[in-house]
Chain A
Amino acid sequence: MQYSQKVLDHFMKPHNIGKLENPDATATEGSPACGDQVSIYIKVNPETMVIDDIKFQSYGCASNIATASIITDMAKGKTLKEAKKISWKEAADALDGLPPVKMHCSVLAVDTLRKAIKEYEVKHHLAQKDKFSKDLIIDELKKVIYPKVGEDIITLKMVKYVGFLEGVAIIDVDIPKFDKYRDNIAEEIREHLEKFTEIKKIKITM
């Protein structure tokens, strides 16, 4: 069995599962085509900025459900500022680890939480929408996990070049031809970048 007991516990009996009536903010990340999708709903106390209530729904595998469950536990009762800082590594640690090939699940859960917080902040004029830039592309690539080791491709220095010019994003990735995750990485990069309306074309060289 590759999953820890804690993953299995959260998978079988997830905490904070379901939808919130009249949430203050919601976010959905992933898609059925990618194999996992998470929706997070939050209620925030406008005075203290504390997340009073949080729920999630998940279309995904055991680790997807478990990471969404633990991350909602971790965020509940925290201020938006604190909750934003929860990292996918902390989420994975709280589950007593995840198999490397499943690390992207915790990235998705954390990402969805951050999106929900951002939505709240933008709605209440506490923050502005992120301005599109090359840095945003790099931030997005930090969510692409190399399944063999369970680290992101930026930290692993697999991304040799990132460029953005006239709507074209150019990403150069160093990954061997025979690597079984080669297509998967390219697909993941596309999925992550396609959501930016500013990007008209994605060129990936490997």
Chain B
Amino acid sequence: MKRIYFDNCVTSKPAPEVIEAMLPYLKEKFYFPQNFVLEGSEIQNDLERFRKIIADSINSKSEEIHFTNGGTSANNLGIKGFLTENSDKGTHIITSVIDYPDLLTNAAFFEKSGFDITYLGSDQEGFLDLDELEAAIRDDTILFMTTMVNHVVGTVQPLTEIRRILDRSGHKIAFLVDAGQAYGRIPIDVKTMGIDLMSVSAHKIHGPQGVGALFQREGISLSPTKHGVNRIDNLETGGISIASLAGFAKAVELAFDNFNDNTSKIRQLSNYLLNKIEENIPHIILNGPRGEKRSPHNMNISFEYIEGEAIMMMLDLAGITVATGSACASQGLKPNYVLMALGRDHAQSHGSIKFTFSRYNTKKEIDYTVQKLTEVISELRSRSPLYNKEL
């Protein structure tokens, strides 16, 4: 049986159309853009077309899009570029304890170099406390960073409301959004949402790995963070794979041409999984919110009395890929920090499984997964001293 993949928040399978779109640039169209030279001009035009496709998908102008070598590069360019350029206006940054590691590691880096960071807390569903945000704003606050869709529990932050709070401060606070999980899954309009800087990544929406983009609102200035030759982007200097950018643009077209169909299909799948699990497996906890306030592609569930790495391994051996928040499966042997911030205890975090969907998943796959999962949970619970004790 074909492998069933539910780890699309980490990376997703490139669409066949994406690979097709990339091939010419790996074969005959291998040039870098160059003015006045036939082949180079053609590439220049192609790049402008790709840029426009991405710009249109978030309602920005083409000039506001930087191509980057991935989502993390976009975040680094946005954060480091902004703070280096604007530190004379203030040195206070606000972010939260549940944000994506790109934001948190950058915050820690700037904290070391003298910036002051406020980390907002989260409620039990993964929403930021907006009163806390309002109270945290100071005269020297220059940047607020958030993860639009939480990478662990799929919570969608209320960006429009956040922008309103930032504007009430009476001075300019830049609004940086990591949209790695949100892009292609929930509608984004950088204008109405008042976003100043936003990172997106190609490989999370069935594009190729290694390319992404940074939206930089007109009027927001960034210092270069990577010095070198200007080939494709004036800030992301050096080469960027043009084949990958072609694939990226194609992935965006595919995601946005049928945006409503794609996302409602994915939401149906994730809700179907949750319903089936709730019907078949007792003692579970849904991590993150229910319904529309959650990204359609994410379902995160804790299975009590057992440990997630064992669940993940058994599903893996049954041909199903999922992720877990267990310390046993993490790099630093720590329980997932987002789940802990949401108030889950160690055991609930260890027992969490994250399923993330794409348009290529099917109902049939979910039926098979729930059948296997029911067996796995019951088997592991039968081995657990905690389960016997409790019941």
Say yes or no: is A101 at the interface (Cβ < 8 Å to chain B). yes
Are A58 and B328 neighbours in the complex by a CB distance under 8 Å?
no
Are B347 and A32 neighbours in the complex by a CB distance under 8 Å?
yes
Q: What is the size, in residues, of chain A's interface with B at 8 Å between Cβ atoms?
A: 31
Within the complex, what minimum Cβ distance (angstroms) separates A138 from chain B?
23
Are A33 and B346 neighbours in the complex by a CB distance under 8 Å?
yes
Q: Specify which chain B residues have a CB less than 8 angstroms from the CB of A183 in the assembled complex.
A: 332, 334
Are A65 and B310 neighbours in the complex by a CB distance under 8 Å?
yes
Are A184 and B333 neighbours in the complex by a CB distance under 8 Å?
yes
Are A12 and B385 neighbours in the complex by a CB distance under 8 Å?
no
Say yes or no: is B201 at the interface (Cβ < 8 Å to chain A). no
A62 to B388, CA, bound (A): 19
Say yes or no: is B350 at the interface (Cβ < 8 Å to chain A). yes
Are A32 and B332 neighbours in the complex by a CB distance under 8 Å?
no
Q: Specify which chain B residues have a CB less than 8 angstroms from the CB of A101 in the assembled complex.
A: 333
Q: Specify which chain A residues have a CB less than 8 angstroms from the CB of B329 in the assembled complex.
A: 61
Task: Tell me the interface secondary structure of chain B in the complex.
Answer: helix
Q: Which of A73-124 contact B (CB under 8 A)?
A: 101-102
Say yes or no: is A150 at the interface (Cβ < 8 Å to chain B). no
- Checking A3, A19, A36 against B388 with a beta-carbon cut-off of 8 angstroms, the contacting residue is A19
Q: Which of B266-286 contact A (CB under 8 A)?
A: none
Within the complex, what minimum Cβ distance (angstroms) separates A8 from chain B?
7
Q: Specify which chain A residues have a CB less than 8 angstroms from the CB of B332 in the assembled complex.
A: 180-181, 183-184
Q: Specify which chain B residues have a CB less than 8 angstroms from the CB of A36 in the assembled complex.
A: 307, 328
Among B317, B333, B334, B388, the most chain A Cβ lie within 10 Å of the Cβ of B333
Q: Specify which chain A residues have a CB less than 8 angstroms from the CB of B384 in the assembled complex.
A: 57-59
Are A180 and B386 neighbours in the complex by a CB distance under 8 Å?
no
Among A36, A59, A180, the most chain B Cβ lie within 10 Å of the Cβ of A59
Q: A11-B310, A61-B307, A61-B310 are in contact. Are A33 and B347 (CB under 8 A)?
A: yes
Say yes or no: is B345 at the interface (Cβ < 8 Å to chain A). yes
Within the complex, what minimum Cβ distance (angstroms) separates A71 from chain B?
15
Within the complex, what minimum Cβ distance (angstroms) separates A16 from chain B?
11
Q: What is the size, in residues, of chain B's interface with A at 8 Å between Cβ atoms?
A: 27
Q: Specify which chain B residues have a CB less than 8 angstroms from the CB of A65 in the assembled complex.
A: 310, 383
Are A60 and B328 neighbours in the complex by a CB distance under 8 Å?
yes
A135 to B388, CA, bound (A): 36
- Checking B313, B333, B382, B386 against A37 with a beta-carbon cut-off of 8 angstroms, the contacting residue is B386
Q: Which of A26-52 contact B (CB under 8 A)?
A: 28, 32-39
Within the complex, what minimum Cβ distance (angstroms) separates B387 from chain A?
8
Q: Specify which chain A residues have a CB less than 8 angstroms from the CB of B382 in the assembled complex.
A: 17
Among A14, A35, A38, A183, the most chain B Cβ lie within 10 Å of the Cβ of A35
Say yes or no: is A23 at the interface (Cβ < 8 Å to chain B). no
A39 to B385, CA, bound (A): 7
Within the complex, what minimum Cβ distance (angstroms) separates B297 from chain A?
27
Say yes or no: is B331 at the interface (Cβ < 8 Å to chain A). yes
Q: A8-B317, A32-B347, A35-B328 are in contact. Are A184 and B334 (CB under 8 A)?
A: yes
Q: A32-B346, A147-B333 are in contact. Are A12 and B317 (CB under 8 A)?
A: yes
Q: Which residue of A lies closest to B381 (CB)?
A: A59
Within the complex, what minimum Cβ distance (angstroms) separates B75 from chain A?
21
A-B complex: 5 closest residue pairs judged by Cβ atoms = A32-B347, A61-B309, A61-B328, A57-B385, A33-B346
Q: List 8 A-B contacts (CB under 8 A).
A: A17-B382, A32-B386, A35-B350, A59-B386, A61-B307, A61-B310, A180-B331, A181-B333
Residues in B lying within 8 Å of A, measured CB to CB: 305-307, 309-310, 313-314, 317, 326-329, 331-335, 345-347, 350, 382-386, 388
Beyond known contacts A11-B313, A32-B350, A184-B334: 14 more, CB 8 A cutoff:
A8-B313, A11-B310, A17-B382, A32-B346, A33-B346, A33-B347, A35-B333, A36-B328, A57-B383, A58-B384, A59-B306, A101-B333, A180-B332, A184-B333
